[in-house]
A and B are shown apart, each in its own frame.
Chain A
Amino acid sequence: MQNFIQYTVDGLTLGSVYALIALGYTLVYGVLKLLNFAHGDVFMVGTFVGYGVLQELGGPMNPKVPIWLLITLVTLASMAVTAGLGVVIERFAYRPLRDAPRIAPLISALGVSFFLSNSMQLLFGATPRNYDLFEYHGGSLYLRGLHIAGVTVPLLRIITIVAAFVLMVILWFLVNKTRTGKAMRATSYDREAAAMMGIDIDRVIVFTFILGSALAGAAGVMFALRVPTNVSIGFIAGLKGFIAAVVGGIGSIPGAMLGGLVLGFAESYVQGYVPNGTQWSDLYVFSGLVLLMIFRHQGLLGRPDIRKV
């Protein structure tokens, strides 16, 4: 029972990070019908920005500001930088290819991903960076927390889960309750018709990239709070976010959230209960996903696309 709670909390934390990454994929796919392969590397840049700001503010040992402000500032800085990065990528790597054959922006995205990860390696080297929040007050962020049935849920986990939840609520509000959100939904429904109704498509797309990339930056910080980060993390993190988006149904926002959680739980339970699960969890996850894609490729919550001829 204790193990079960432990794995569930792990899954929830992991799942909320995956969900945030998946939202970025889903938002962009919804509006542009483009798989943004560079998204994972935007996430990676986010983890590094967070690390840099953390060090600037004095590091976890003796921070210059209270801890809650520290984490908030680190997250906000990372979100701001990745949002800017997303806008630049869209403007220079995707916009010129908007009317090109569909394979063209995909290849351009591969190039961006490769460019970003190697640029980061050039500038900061391949050594892993650890946020090391255990250093703060003798590990109080890890040792203190909520007690459930004899298991301590660390404070840091709670912060991550709550922050992810808050971000998702904000996103839901932006997409469903604001004018720009309405324009976004219209664009994703039918881009040409939306343009004819007077919606500035370029602005909507830029806004989408800002949202998606900022979420990736936040996810990056939350991820790096748990485990050390390095420059090649973008590929695998992107892949996981991608899976989450596809499981939930790419293009569907609640789908991405659900998909992230499903993936997080699946990974956590497989690693916990299946023998040799840690090594092989990728195998199970990927095989499950391929099966899902073959038999229900619109995902759990997506709507099947109707091809018009």
Chain B
Amino acid sequence: MSDSTPHGFHSTGAEGPAVGQDEWVARHAERRIMQGGPLGKVEDRVRAVPWWAWLILFVGLFCLFPLVETGGYVREVAFNTVLYMLLALGLNIVVGWGGLLDLGYVAFYGIGAYVYALLDSPHYHHHFPTIVSIVIVVIVGALAGFLLGLPSWRLTGDYLAIVTLFFLQLFQTVTTNWQHVTGGPFGILNVDPFGLDKHHQLATQHNGVFAVSYLYVALGIFVLVYVALRMVNNSRTGRAWRSLREDPLAAEAMGMPVNWLKLLSFASGAAVAALTGSLYAALYGNVFPLTFYFVTLITIYTMVILGGSGNQAGVVLGALIVSPLLEVLRDSGKSRIMFFVALVAGLALFSRRSPRIAIVAAATLVFGFVVHAICSAINGSWVAGEHHGGFAGFVDHWVVAPDQMARWIAPASYVGVICIALVVALLSGWKRLALLVPTLYLAAFVWENVMLSKPEPARYIVLGVILIVLMILRPNGLLGERRVEIV
């Protein structure tokens, strides 16, 4: 499932690059496949399967999911994940293909939700059929995107990022303060679910649990959007967008209508976001300004970057990882397991590169037991905050968990673990490995004692760290193509 770079050289094989492909680029791509690491081999296998087979498999599995899982909460998480997948697809048009940094993206999501809420709610006593209101929502969203795109005629890069960020702030100001129309901070309540008219509506709840029909509606829309965008991407417009991303000046020199292309990418991204917004409003039945703010924006950005900006399948994968991850991190029991799974997986991944990592893992394990034994011998209350039984009980025999912590311990250990991790990043060789042992243990201590009790900031901290680390170590994300920089 590749989107952004031609893979013609697969078929031509040893004869050299395909027609219209630069030799240097071809060599680069070949090297990438040779040294792709563990992910590279998987990527190659994955590429052999046609994209539609993947889509059918994926959607099929997703449709079967509610049969296995009957809990309303999990189904709702699945629905949210589909929403995020749609949002990531939309953002991918602007950021991944157009190469324009759009920080006002969630405002379009909000505009979609608000327009739907105004058209179908007791607020103005309008109850339009869903088909009509969705068409209006998409048109309004696209127009708003078009308008926001207009400054891009004159502004580039950073300036455009600021204008879009202001647009988000403007959206917030208007929705919070224009109380007659938007209901202000109290939002619009009792929004209609989808339906043909007021009497034929698709209930959002079935016997008090989340109605699974909405999951299917969302999936249907997702498939439509995915296929449509894929076709756009393979068309003239898609190629023009990518050339715009790589070098706007060269694209302009080649006679491409650069300005219109930018507007088009803003408008299509906004339309997808607005469409998603109407889904949100219909299911949850209410809209508030703060749903569509910085936090949602960063979440969607993390998905796109993690999956690989520019790669459709990648951004969907990103949404599929990040959205459940955020849910898991809400719950302390699950997020404890999550942390240790991530730790072990990370060590395993790196141990392929250097077998000494295995020694570090073992040393950390021993180190933990030693520290725990020393602490419990000195003062019983230092380990009194322990759980009994289960995974938590096992972890607490390894990590020191004080009953009551002095006020300075939480900030000191948190700042300490950040500092020591940064030092580890600077060192190399055996020093780094040696320092890694206490770092890992301290990280476990902080996770267990500081972060687990406050899931709300903790899960967003995880997002922030993912963004920074990804940009530095693997800016192309999981499935994205590494950008070829020709100097």
Contacts and interface: CB of A to CB of B under 8 A. Distances in A.
Interface of A: 29, 33, 35, 88, 91-93, 96-97, 100-108, 110-116, 118-119, 121-124, 235-236, 239, 242-243, 246, 279-280, 282-283, 286-287, 289-290, 293-294, 297, 307, 309
A101 B309 CA distance: 13
Contacts of B457: 118-119, 121-122
A32 to B, nearest CB: 11
B454 A115 contact: no
B264 to A, nearest CB: 19
Contacts of B467: 107-108, 110-111, 114
A280 B450 contact: no
Contact of B301 (A91, A101, A110): A110
Interface stretch (B165-173, B365-373, B383-391): B165-173
A284 B474 CA distance: 41
Given A88-B422, A107-B471, A122-B458, A235 B166 contact: no
B163 A283 contact: no
23 contacts: A35-B158, A103-B99, A104-B471, A105-B471, A108-B467, A111-B466, A113-B464, A114-B460, A114-B463, A115-B468, A116-B464, A118-B458, A118-B460, A118-B461, A123-B414, A239-B165, A242-B162, A246-B159, A283-B170, A283-B174, A286-B166, A286-B169, A293-B155
A112 B464 contact: yes
A92 B298 CA distance: 20
B177 A108 contact: no
Given A283-B174, A290-B151, A294-B154, A122 B465 contact: no
B305 interface: yes
Nearest to B150: A294
B464 A122 contact: no
Interface of B: 95, 99, 101, 103, 151, 154-155, 157-159, 161-163, 165-166, 169-170, 173-174, 177, 249, 294, 298, 301, 305, 410-411, 414, 422, 425, 450-451, 454, 456-458, 460-461, 463-468, 471-472, 475, 483, 485
Contacts of B414: 119, 122-123
Contacts of B154: 294, 297
A243 B192 CA distance: 40
A101 B100 CA distance: 12
B475 A104 contact: yes
A107 B301 contact: yes
Given A106-B101, A123-B410, A93 B468 contact: yes
Contacts of A283: 170, 173-174, 177
A68 B165 CA distance: 39
A153 to B, nearest CB: 30
A294 B151 contact: yes
A253 B381 CA distance: 56
A114 B166 CA distance: 17
Nearest to A95: B472
Nearest to A108: B471
Contact of B173 (A100, A105, A280, A297): A280
Contacts of B411: 123-124
A118 B158 contact: no
Contacts of B177: 279-280, 283
Contacts of A242: 162
Contacts of A33: 158
A243 B103 CA distance: 15
A273 B483 CA distance: 52
Nearest to A89: B468
B170 to A, nearest CB: 5
A293 B471 CA distance: 29
A115 B173 contact: no
Given A121-B457, A122-B461, A280-B177, A290 B166 contact: yes
Contacts of A107: 101, 301, 305, 467, 471
Contacts of A279: 177
